[in-house]
Chains A and B, each alone.
Chain A
Amino acid sequence: MTSSADAVMTKPPTTPPGSQLAGEGSMWFFIIGDLIIFSVYFVFYTWHRGINQELFLESQLQLNQGIGFINTLILLTSSLFIALGAQSVHEGEYRRALALMRTAFFIGALFPVLKMVEWLPKINAGITPGENLFYLYYYIMTGLHLCHVLLGLVIQAFVLRHLASEKTPDAEFVDSGAVYWHMVDLLWIVVFAMFYLMR
């Protein structure tokens, strides 16, 4: 005989594990839209690069690849800690999650500092957005990305406050912050490749 309780227990879950969307739906709306907006800029950049190859190449050589590379490492490492922190929240290890998220925040906060280290000598040397079309793209795209990093740090600060104050934190909220930070990471990888590496 099969009891109704057994039937409930053997019934497969309506949503298979791992198929649920991480974070809030509205955050995914923002992320997908943001990726489309950046993509439009990338297409225009590539188009103008094709028209002004010499100017773009010559200007690209003046960029500091070392700082770009360190910034890539910073964001990747920060993203790793965010992912581990989000996983800890799902496993119910909230104290560990808080420690991991704090680490991610402080590593991520190095990005704007290094961006200033990169920008300020250039601006002091007279290389401003008005220099040429490449630098206009460079300052707009990296500046826009920097705005996203700053917004990501604000979101992380809210997540940290939430983790520190709630006994059972909202995993969806933590996931939303994590997903946003991964998008910031992904965008930087494309920006780094297009502006610093592409020859």
Chain B
Amino acid sequence: MSEPTAAIEPIASVQPKKIRWLKNKKLDQYLVFWVVPVFFQVFGLVFVPLTWMMPPMSPDKPLADIVTFMQTSPLELALSLYILVSGLGAVVTVGAYWLVLARMAVSPAIKYAFLAGQVIGSVVGALLPVSLFGLAGFRSGYDPETLAMFYDFAYLAYNGSLGCFCLPWLALSLAIILDKNRILPKWLGYYTAWQYVTELFAASVWLTTAQPFGWNGYLAFYFNMLLYVPWQIIIFFQIYKALKNQPEDELDNVRLERSLPSYQAVPAYS
């Protein structure tokens, strides 16, 4: 009976160069990470050039305009695209944060608070509005007043989701500031605290439809975006940097490989 390692060696030696990247120990992490920019591209495509939902329209739009907007075919097309990617995107976006959160030396309560808040926030802030727009776009027969209610409800859920995102941003901010392993820079923790503050500012969209605190207001929306967009870019850049700098010894798959018997540690197919 021959040794298993002897049988697989010839296969490994003729392995083509182009699949060498598959051997990268951080491949799974990079895949999770790169899904995020792709998701945000689709997200941007759906909400800006396809539907023009963003920048947000006026809360005081005339009823006839609301009905036209809610039942246009680009909305249907865009929503189809969004529904296709939203499930994957929402999950993997949280995963990208989790890659660094899992390595932080902070209380697990903070980490799970972030997870719980992100999941609830994704449902209320992303899936609920898109479902309401989908209801209006794909189902005919609703009267104009009902469509106006969908419009109001969808925008309030999208721009005024408040507490759902207060919790994860506060938890993430605390995790970065209190982390003893210094996975992400401390100043980024403070920057994240402002995202928590912007969610508080967004409370005003429930109280008024007028400037500057309506859902399309200078303060309730545009100023918040000015704080949020650079933060989102910076935090993903920092997550990428943290992934790159992580020593391979810390990776779970490397530890697992080392704990296996030697003949299994030489994988046959990689």
Chain A residues proximal to chain B, CB less than 8 Å: 24-27, 29-30, 33-34, 37, 40-41, 44, 48, 129-130, 133, 136, 140, 143-144, 147
Q: B8 on the interface (CB 8 Å rule)?
A: no
Interface residues of B in 210-245 (CB under 8 A from A): 210, 212-213, 218-219, 223, 227
Question: Closest CB-CB distance, A166 to chain B, in whole Å?
Answer: 16
B218 touches A44 (CB 8 A): yes
Q: B191 on the interface (CB 8 Å rule)?
A: yes
* Chain B residues, CB < 8 A from A34: 194
Given A24-B186, A33-B194, A37-B227, 10 more contacts at CB 8 Å?
A26-B187, A33-B190, A44-B218, A44-B219, A133-B208, A136-B208, A140-B201, A140-B204, A147-B197, A147-B200
* Chain B residues, CB < 8 A from A37: 194, 197, 227
B185 touches A26 (CB 8 A): yes
Q: How far is the CA of A24 from the CA of B200 in the complex (A)?
A: 26
Offer 24 A-B interface pairs, CB within 8 angstroms, sorted by A: A25-B187, A26-B185, A26-B187, A26-B189, A26-B190, A29-B187, A29-B190, A29-B191, A30-B187, A30-B191, A33-B190, A33-B191, A33-B194, A34-B194, A37-B227, A40-B223, A44-B212, A44-B218, A48-B212, A136-B204, A140-B204, A144-B200, A147-B197, A147-B200
Q: B193 on the interface (CB 8 Å rule)?
A: yes
A143 touches B186 (CB 8 A): no
Chain B interface size, as a band, is: 20 to 34
Chain B residues proximal to chain A, CB less than 8 Å: 185-187, 189-191, 193-194, 197, 200-201, 203-204, 207-208, 210, 212-213, 218-219, 223, 227
* Chain B residues, CB < 8 A from A33: 190-191, 194
* Chain A residues, CB < 8 A from B227: 37
Q: Considering the complex, give the chain A residue whose CB is closest to the CB of B223.
A: A40
* Chain A residues, CB < 8 A from B190: 26-27, 29-30, 33
Q: How far is the CA of A126 from the CA of B156 in the complex (A)?
A: 24
A136 touches B213 (CB 8 A): yes
Question: Closest CB-CB distance, A191 to chain B, in whole Å?
Answer: 15
Given contacts A41-B219, A44-B212, whether A129 and B204 have CB atoms under 8 Å apart is yes
| CB-based closest 4 A-B pairs | A30-B190, A26-B186, A26-B187, A29-B187
Q: How far is the CA of A30 from the CA of B187 in the complex (A)?
A: 7
* Chain A residues, CB < 8 A from B193: 30
* Chain A residues, CB < 8 A from B187: 25-26, 29-30
Q: Considering the complex, give the chain B residue whose CB is closest to the CB of A30.
A: B190
Q: How far is the CA of A133 from the CA of B207 in the complex (A)?
A: 10
* Chain A residues, CB < 8 A from B213: 136, 140
Q: How far is the CA of A144 from the CA of B197 in the complex (A)?
A: 8
